[in-house]
Chain A
Amino acid sequence: MQWETVIGLEVHVQLATRSKIFSGASTAFGAEPNSQACAVDLGMPGVLPVLNEAAVAMAVQFGLGIHAEIPEVSVFDRKNYFYPDLPKGYQTSQMYHPIVGPGEVEITLDDGSTKAIRVHHAHLEEDAGKSLHETFSDGMGQAMTGIDLNRAGTPLLEIVSEPDMRSAKEAAAYLKAIHSIVTYLGISDGNMAEGSMRCDVNVSVRPKDQAAFGTRAEIKNVNSFRFVERAIAFEVERQIELLEDGGEVVQETRLYDPERDETRSMRTKEQANDYRYFPCPDLLPVVLDQAYVDHLRDNLPELPADKRARFQEEMGLSAYDAGVLSASREMAEFFEQVNDVCGDAKQAANWVQGELSGALNREGLPIQSSPVSARQLGELVARIIDDTINGKAAKQVFQALWNGESDSADAVIEAKGLKQVTDTGAIEAMIDQVIADSPAQVAQYRDAEPDKRGKMIGYFVGQVMKASRGTANPQQVNGLLKERLDALC
């Protein structure tokens, strides 16, 4: 039977606020345990939450970034359950009236085609603390779990998609698109290794021609792009196998184990959860006035989809180039600065994706740590465009800049004497010398069929370039050589 995969994602994004969503404690990562958990984060008796303006603004910016409805009123609810890393015995979240309504995220697939994935809503909530399962002792020999509540109260935006994805690749592309939007907006550092972005995946399969969804399993806490693809691939295979063997998929929560590359059922609780949501009486409805939303909209940075379109339409880049260069805000900003300096988008794109990306990949560096700045690269490309140097010399200049030998392309060109020779007389003198030194090759050239001569000219060009230490203008050398050799025939 032909099966179709149906995937929906719940992405939790930690918002890059300085302080917690409901308290003035710091959100900085990596502090001493419980040193950044204030009385509110600890759920101490009598303390109360007050909502952080930046968390609201960031959520709205995300909503605007995915062209979502921004409801005028949103409400915080309490989700009640007991867990040691949940200090109050409830999580403050938004169940019925989320801050961001329905929107849409465009994903780009490997073949360059795009697909719209609907976002059901996005809501604000507080993160929980962390349980450390290394063994601690209570002093009486019992193994204990340690609770660190520094993360408790960190603002999260939970982005809930519709079940619109049909493959693991689409799910990964969606996650990348979300990552790119939140980092473009600067509302999250998007650091998956530190848990700034976490993902729950809902997966089901159904016969290709069936309209109704199959029973889904939820895979919790899949925390890298790669694991999302692998967890889904495993889960899809598991479900299909189960169904083809006449079994049934159970609606349950599963965990992805990256070491074994499999998902497995979390022990089912003896009684189902009943979260008893109700409006949090310590917080009032959040009302966003239109002027506030408009102000945020007017100050929104250009987002990846818009950038990609502009790179294609205004700069004439290919869909592929535009996609690669707009994938991250840092990459896009670097490219745009190179382009601003050199004034040639295609050349800028080639150098950023070619020489620069190659070097960065070799060293394992992100573009924001590039030893060659966008300005330096832009100036280098400009020297190619204005014929000051040729492509070959340009690579030498790039290497010198990368090695930090000098801080501008012009200085390297000057110091190394790489300025292109365009003086016809000088080039002709070199040509004469090469012809004089290569009687055998000249004879071969003369004896060859005219349509074979084009290939043979390469030898002479190479010799002239060598004689010029690479500085002669290759096109000029080519043209003058052809004239001269043909004259000998």
Chain B
Amino acid sequence: MHDKTLTELAAGLAAGEFSSRELTANLLARIDRLDGDLNSFITVTPEQALAAADAADAARARGEAGPLTGVPLALKDIFCTTGVKTSAGSKMLDNFVAPYDATVVEKLKAAGTVSLGKTNMDEFAMGSSNENSFYGAVKNPWDGAAVPGGSSGGSAAAVAAGLVPAAMGTDTGGSIRQPAAFCGITGLKPTYGRVSRYGIIAYASSLDQAGPMARTAADCAHLLGAIAGHDLRDSTSVARGVPDYTAELDAPLAGLKIGLPTEYFGDGLDPEVESAVREAIRVYESLGATVREVSLPHTHYAIPAYYVIAPAEASSNLARYDGVRFGHRCEAPTDLTDLYLRSRAEGFGEEVQRRILMGTHTLSEGFFDAYYKKAQQVRRLIRQDFLDAFDEVDVLMGPASPTPAFDLGAKKDPVSMYLQDIYTIAINLAGIPGISVPAGFAGGRPVGLQILGTHFAEARLLNVAHQFQQATDWHLRRPGIIEETA
């Protein structure tokens, strides 16, 4: 049952083919057997999972089951979960057991889902390869030499390896879509404000957004419905009704207007990735869509703008980790300054320190206008590019990443790592939703097609992605690890 989609598992549970306990135990056993090598989980919570599964089975017996009751999933270790270690992939929070649930966690519990544990990630969600985790790198289930992508690398790898049918991720500059692409699964970053950020450990507050990662667009539609909505505890969450995201999945695509941003097919794009994406576009044409080129003229300013805004916000968001109220504290501090300096230098890894220094510098006196203010101006121009494009077309399509998954240890230089996110980062600056769907292979590693829509166009994106998955079988391909019998 481990290679089934969430939608299929939900149907199986509803039909009584198996219980949530059976399913949960089966997956826990798989994690136990396979994850030692894969390293996709930081914390597995078998006791809580089995208790939740039993509660779900009992609810079903009482006739109180909802569509997701008893469905197992995993949570990126950035979502605070009561009574469970919530580390954000950092030594700083290695000893942090959250005393509260993130709103997303609360909603998933209320929907009856069963969390199997907390998945690995780049420290504080800073990274594109999952190599920046205090808990070690994660292997790509398709190829043990490759990275799973990041920062939600553990979530992507766990789903791809059949350890869990779905996992929650967060996406600040591509952290759902890029690992989904690298691991051959479907990952949706919703519109900024669609899903509450309450209880999600902050990286860059004006960019962070949580979303589902699963095998199919239909799975993502079910999960988004469960986690979306206004939250009184998050000022930036949007008071707007949550539609049934599954309702429009089957709508035909005839007349769909697709835009291909010229800038997303330029230098640096791996030819095999490009041909896979172009092939996917042809599938859409065969489904009745029309395709035209569009321009997003400020695309090349997105990475520079992001690497001002995100580190600036992060430098402030991460100031709370000072060794006073929670988190890592150095041994025997001699005075207050020593407490701060050593707790933070010991608790944060290199990439986190780099971004804190970067953000601190760009916000400091004399630099603010040249960097922060400038980046925010550019941010407006980038958003306007998208809004202009969506006046012309319904969705934009292109590659989720310029290359397939690269090898572990291949990118030592931070700048070359940052440039990986060229096609995903602008989406966070603009706050629009994006989804990555499996669309073939390059060098034996999965390729993701990224589909973008205007603000709050999630239902449309899911429909467009689902129709592709009705016409192709890329999303059904499984890595060898899946054949390991349960």
Q: Contact residues of A with B, CB < 8 Å?
A: 39, 42-51, 78, 80, 82, 84, 87-90, 140, 147, 274, 276-278, 281-284
Which 5 pairs across A and B sit closest by C-beta, in order of nearness? A89-B319, A281-B205, A276-B363, A281-B206, A43-B320
Stretch at the interface among B219-227, B232-240, B277-285: B232-240
Which of A42, A43, A48 is in CB contact (< 8 Å) with B234? Answer: A48
Which of A45, A49, A51, A80 neighbours the largest number of chain B CB atoms within 10 Å of its CB? A45
**Restricting to B361-381, which residues have a CB under 8 Å from any CB of A?**
363-365, 368, 372
Q: How far is the CA of A301 from the CA of B204 in the complex (A)?
A: 44
CB distance from A40 to the nearest CB of B (A): 9
Known contacts A46-B80, A46-B198, A46-B202; decide if A278 and B316 are in contact (CB<8 Å). Answer: yes
Stretch at the interface among B44-52, B97-105, B422-430: B97-105
Contact: A278 with B372, CB < 8 Å? yes
Interface: B313 (CB within 8 A): yes
Interface: B437 (CB within 8 A): no
Contact: A82 with B340, CB < 8 Å? yes
Interface: B96 (CB within 8 A): yes
Stretch at the interface among B62-70, B135-143, B321-329, B451-459: B321-329
CB distance from A143 to the nearest CB of B (A): 11
Query: Residue of A at shortest CB range from B339?
Result: A84
Contact: B340 with A281, CB < 8 Å? no
Query: Residue of B at shortest CB range from A140?
Result: B332
Q: How far is the CA of A87 from the CA of B363 in the complex (A)?
A: 20
Interface: B114 (CB within 8 A): no
Interface: B201 (CB within 8 A): yes
A-B contact pairs, 20 of them (CB 8 A): A44-B325, A45-B80, A45-B86, A45-B88, A45-B320, A46-B199, A47-B100, A47-B198, A49-B235, A82-B319, A84-B336, A89-B318, A89-B319, A90-B316, A274-B365, A276-B315, A276-B363, A276-B365, A276-B368, A282-B236
Known contacts A45-B201, A147-B324; decide if A283 and B319 are in contact (CB<8 Å). Answer: no
By a CB distance below 8 angstroms, the chain B residues around A47 are 100, 198-199, 233
Contact: A48 with B319, CB < 8 Å? no
Given contact pairs A276-B364, A281-B205, enumerate 4 new A-B contacts (beta carbons under 8 Å).
A44-B100, A44-B320, A274-B365, A278-B363
Over the window 390-417 of chain B, the binary record of Cβ atoms lying under 8 Å from chain A Cβ atoms (1 yes, 0 no) is 0000000000000000000000000000
By a CB distance below 8 angstroms, the chain B residues around A44 are 99-100, 320, 325-326
CB distance from A338 to the nearest CB of B (A): 48
Interface: B353 (CB within 8 A): no
By a CB distance below 8 angstroms, the chain A residues around B332 are 140
By a CB distance below 8 angstroms, the chain B residues around A90 are 316, 319
Contact: B200 with A284, CB < 8 Å? no
CB distance from B394 to the nearest CB of A (A): 29
Known contacts A45-B201, A276-B364; decide if A282 and B319 are in contact (CB<8 Å). Answer: no
Contact: A82 with B235, CB < 8 Å? no
Contact: B200 with A46, CB < 8 Å? yes
By a CB distance below 8 angstroms, the chain B residues around A276 are 315-316, 360, 363-365, 368
Which of A48, A87, A283 is in CB contact (< 8 Å) with B320? Answer: A87
By a CB distance below 8 angstroms, the chain A residues around B80 are 45-46
Contact: A80 with B326, CB < 8 Å? no
Known contacts A46-B199, A48-B234; decide if A281 and B204 are in contact (CB<8 Å). Answer: yes
Contact: A84 with B313, CB < 8 Å? no
By a CB distance below 8 angstroms, the chain B residues around A50 are 232-235
Interface: B312 (CB within 8 A): yes
Query: Residue of A at shortest CB range from B208?
Result: A281
Q: How far is the CA of A278 from the CA of B86 in the complex (A)?
A: 28
Query: Residue of A at shortest CB range from B88?
Result: A45
Q: How far is the CA of A87 from the CA of B235 in the complex (A)?
A: 20
By a CB distance below 8 angstroms, the chain B residues around A42 are 325
Query: Residue of B at shortest CB range from A84?
Result: B324
Known contacts A48-B235, A284-B235; decide if A82 and B322 are in contact (CB<8 Å). Answer: yes
Contact: B320 with A88, CB < 8 Å? yes
Interface: B161 (CB within 8 A): no
By a CB distance below 8 angstroms, the chain A residues around B233 are 47-48, 50
Interface: B93 (CB within 8 A): yes
Q: How far is the CA of A57 from the CA of B250 in the complex (A)?
A: 49
Q: How far is the CA of A105 from the CA of B233 in the complex (A)?
A: 37
Which of A49, A51, A88, A278 is in CB contact (< 8 Å) with B319? Answer: A88
Interface: B118 (CB within 8 A): no
Known contacts A45-B326, A47-B198, A48-B234; decide if A278 and B312 are in contact (CB<8 Å). Answer: yes
Q: How far is the CA of A239 from the CA of B100 in the complex (A)?
A: 54
Interface: B197 (CB within 8 A): yes
CB distance from B235 to the nearest CB of A (A): 5
CB distance from A270 to the nearest CB of B (A): 10
By a CB distance below 8 angstroms, the chain A residues around B316 are 78, 80, 89-90, 276, 278
By a CB distance below 8 angstroms, the chain B residues around A45 are 80, 86, 88, 93, 96, 98, 201-202, 320, 326
CB distance from B477 to the nearest CB of A (A): 35
Known contacts A39-B99, A42-B325, A276-B316; decide if A284 and B201 are in contact (CB<8 Å). Answer: no
Contact: A89 with B198, CB < 8 Å? no
Q: How far is the CA of A90 from the CA of B204 in the complex (A)?
A: 15
Contact: B325 with A282, CB < 8 Å? no
Q: How far is the CA of A89 from the CA of B99 in the complex (A)?
A: 21
Known contacts A49-B235, A89-B320; decide if A43 and B313 are in contact (CB<8 Å). Answer: no
By a CB distance below 8 angstroms, the chain B residues around A48 are 197-198, 233-236
Query: Residue of A at shortest CB range from B313?
Result: A281
Which of B86, B198, B204, B235 neighbours the largest number of chain A CB atoms within 10 Å of its CB? B235
Q: How far is the CA of A278 from the CA of B369 in the complex (A)?
A: 11
Contact: A46 with B102, CB < 8 Å? yes
Contact: A282 with B100, CB < 8 Å? no
By a CB distance below 8 angstroms, the chain A residues around B96 are 45
Query: Residue of B at shortest CB range from A76?
Result: B235
Q: How far is the CA of A406 from the CA of B100 in the complex (A)?
A: 59
Known contacts A49-B235, A87-B320; decide if A43 and B325 are in contact (CB<8 Å). Answer: yes
Q: How far is the CA of A49 from the CA of B80 in the complex (A)?
A: 16
**Restricting to B268-284, which residues have a CB under 8 Å from any CB of A?**
none
By a CB distance below 8 angstroms, the chain A residues around B98 are 45-46
Q: How far is the CA of A63 from the CA of B171 in the complex (A)?
A: 41
Contact: A80 with B102, CB < 8 Å? no
CB distance from A53 to the nearest CB of B (A): 12
CB distance from B171 to the nearest CB of A (A): 16
Known contacts A45-B98, A46-B199, A282-B236; decide if A80 and B363 are in contact (CB<8 Å). Answer: yes
Query: Residue of A at shortest CB range from B326?
Result: A44
By a CB distance below 8 angstroms, the chain A residues around B235 are 48-51, 282-284
Q: How far is the CA of A276 from the CA of B320 in the complex (A)?
A: 15
Q: How far is the CA of A232 from the CA of B206 in the complex (A)?
A: 45
By a CB distance below 8 angstroms, the chain B residues around A284 are 235-236
By a CB distance below 8 angstroms, the chain A residues around B336 are 84
Query: Residue of B at shortest CB range from A138?
Result: B332
By a CB distance below 8 angstroms, the chain B residues around A39 are 99-100
Which of A46, A87, A89, A283 is in CB contact (< 8 Å) with B201? Answer: A46
**Restricting to B73-105, which residues have a CB under 8 Å from any CB of A?**
80, 86, 88, 93, 96, 98-100, 102
Over the window 321-363 of chain B, the binary record of Cβ atoms lying under 8 Å from chain A Cβ atoms (1 yes, 0 no) is 0101110000010001000100000000000000000001001
Query: Residue of A at shortest CB range from B372?
Result: A278
CB distance from B257 to the nearest CB of A (A): 33
Query: Residue of B at shortest CB range from A80?
Result: B316
CB distance from B56 to the nearest CB of A (A): 26
CB distance from A223 to the nearest CB of B (A): 25
Query: Residue of B at shortest CB range from A282?
Result: B205
Which of A87, A140, A281, A283 is in CB contact (< 8 Å) with B325? Answer: A87
Query: Residue of B at shortest CB range from A147?
Result: B324
Query: Residue of B at shortest CB range from A149?
Result: B325
Which of A47, A78, A88, A147 neighbours the largest number of chain B CB atoms within 10 Å of its CB? A47
Q: How far is the CA of A105 from the CA of B37 in the complex (A)?
A: 71
By a CB distance below 8 angstroms, the chain A residues around B206 are 281
By a CB distance below 8 angstroms, the chain B residues around A278 are 312, 316, 363, 368, 372
By a CB distance below 8 angstroms, the chain A residues around B205 are 281-282
Q: How far is the CA of A477 from the CA of B229 in the complex (A)?
A: 86
